Amino acid sequence: MSEKGILVVVSGFSGAGKGTLMKELLGRYPQTYALSVSATTRRPREGEEDGREYFFLSKDEFEKMIAKGELIEYAKYVENYYGTPRGYVQRKLDEGKDVILEIEIQGARNVKKMFPDSLLLFVTPPSASELKSRLVGRGTETMDVIESRMERACEEAEGMEEYDYLIVNDDLEACVEEMHSIIRGEHRRSSRNREFMKEIKEGLEEMKRR
Amino acid sequence: MSEKGILVVVSGFSGAGKGTLMKELLGRYPQTYALSVSATTRRPREGEEDGREYFFLSKDEFEKMIAKGELIEYAKYVENYYGTPRGYVQRKLDEGKDVILEIEIQGARNVKKMFPDSLLLFVTPPSASELKSRLVGRGTETMDVIESRMERACEEAEGMEEYDYLIVNDDLEACVEEMHSIIRGEHRRSSRNREFMKEIKEGLEEMKRR
């Protein structure tokens, strides 16, 4: 069976625990997963290392990558570019690793266009009421804070239907294992195993001819 | 989240261990799964019990069920009818159980038409060479036996691409767990959780209006 890596896009609500979830997943299964490293034109902060937190590039280098189509997706926030270099992702996929990419909906759509086989996961709290209480907090937040969180959550919820799976983060432990088993299961999707099926059928044809 | 049962159709190569696999799955997770019980017009054999191995019906009763559309799929082999009663399956799905249905490709297609949300699994040995050696046996089979197995395998391989997942039966233990986690994972498919997503979005809208 083919064990080619799958490109896994992870989006979801802020505060749903995406960061912790992925750190835990990578920590537990370092042979299975690789985290995509983004490129950026912003300056490195103290303690950040080139190729670990980000690939730090000049504006000129970044724009050359755009021009050459070497980025799977990119965006500009506050005068700085952020993007996903295709080379790194492709190398890890070829090594058979599932590559995890944490991005937002617009980036996810671009990835899906370039890599139609990519798997889109959306991390969410277990219920609407749980989401609400996370947005509202403990009653100590200003209306401004709550409104800005809500606006963000609405943006994040947009396009939720375009994701393949919902990852319900209630209990971290259970959620990491569920995410892992969903990705493992996807490797068995028949659409990802056309080659295997072809071999089986050709094997049968060959026997017939003898 | 919705925990409505999923109708799981299992097909695959003869000798790939479907029977053992399903017995093991049901035995390990009796609260999660229910095995669909077929109806038939053949006479019960010694030790068989109505409603356990089969629902034993008269030809007249069976044909009435056909006429009323009470069978999800049916076929006639050697003067006897065999089919899947819709009532039993629907009842178990409503109880939240995943209902397992072991049938062949033609039946699988009919089920998919009636239950578009059903999940189609195809059980296969791990490789074409493994399949071959199972068909050929230990070199003690007559050519007739081998040829009839091959013919059957060719029929079974037909339509393999229409299944959602391949269940690779190499090691029984691993295979049972893999099948279980594929089915569990399917419950998280966003296409099966439209209601949950609607609730989340409505929850956000409602907060906005306050």
pLDDT in tens, A39-97: 999 999 999 999 888 999 999 999 999 999 999 999 998 899 999 999 999 999 999 99
Pairwise CB contact (< 8 Å): A161 & B131: no
Residues in chain B closer than 8 A to A204 (CB atoms) = 128, 131, 150, 153-154, 157
d(CA B13, CA B153): 6
Q: Which of these, A94, A113, A87, lies nearest to A9 by C-alpha position?
A: A113
pTM value is: 0.90
Q: B-side interface with A, Cβ within 8 Å?
A: 1, 122, 124, 126-129, 131-132, 135, 150, 153-154, 157, 160-161, 163-168, 178, 181-182, 184-186, 188-190, 193-194, 196-197, 199-204, 207-208
pLDDT at residue B66 tops 90? yes
Check residue A77 and give its pLDDT.
86
Check residue B2 and give its pLDDT.
59
Backbone angles phi and psi of A101, in degrees to 5: -130, 115
Q: In this complex, which of B122, B164, B200 lies closest to A157 when CB atoms are compared?
A: B200
Residues in chain A closer than 8 A to B199 (CB atoms) = 127-128
Q: Nearest C-alpha of chain A: how many angstroms from B93?
A: 21
Cβ(A103)–Cβ(A12) below 8 Å:
no
Q: In this complex, which of A129, A164, A181 lies closest to B184 when CB atoms are compared?
A: A181
Nearest CA in chain A to B177: A181
Instruction: Note the maximum CA span of chain B.
Output: 79
Candidate from A127-131, B30-34, B54-58 with smallest mean pLDDT:
A127-131
Q: Which residues of chain A have pLDDT under 70?
A: 1-2, 210
Check residue B175 and give its pLDDT.
95
Check residue A168 and give its pLDDT.
93
Cβ(B21)–Cβ(B11) below 8 Å:
no
DSSP state, residue A50: B
Residues in chain A closer than 8 A to B154 (CB atoms) = 204, 208
Instruction: Read off the pLDDT of residues B113-125 as tens digits, 9 standing for 90 and up.
Output: 989 999 999 999 9
| Residue found by looking up tokens 């949950």 in the block | B196
Pairwise CB contact (< 8 Å): B168 & A124: no
What value, to the nearest 5°, has the Cα angle with vertex B162 and ends A6 and B32?
75
Q: In this complex, which of A165, A193, A196 lies closest to B190 when CB atoms are compared?
A: A165
Instruction: Read off the pLDDT of residues B136-192 as tens digits, 9 standing for 90 and up.
Output: 887 788 888 888 888 889 888 989 999 999 999 999 999 999 999 999 999 999 999
pLDDT at residue B56 tops 70? yes
**ipTM of model:** 0.88
Pairwise CB contact (< 8 Å): B166 & A199: no
d(CA B27, CA B33): 9
d(CA A63, CA A86): 14
What distances in angstroms separate CA A15 from CA A45, A198, B163, B208, one per listed residue? 23, 44, 37, 19
Instruction: Tell me the residue type at A205.
Output: E
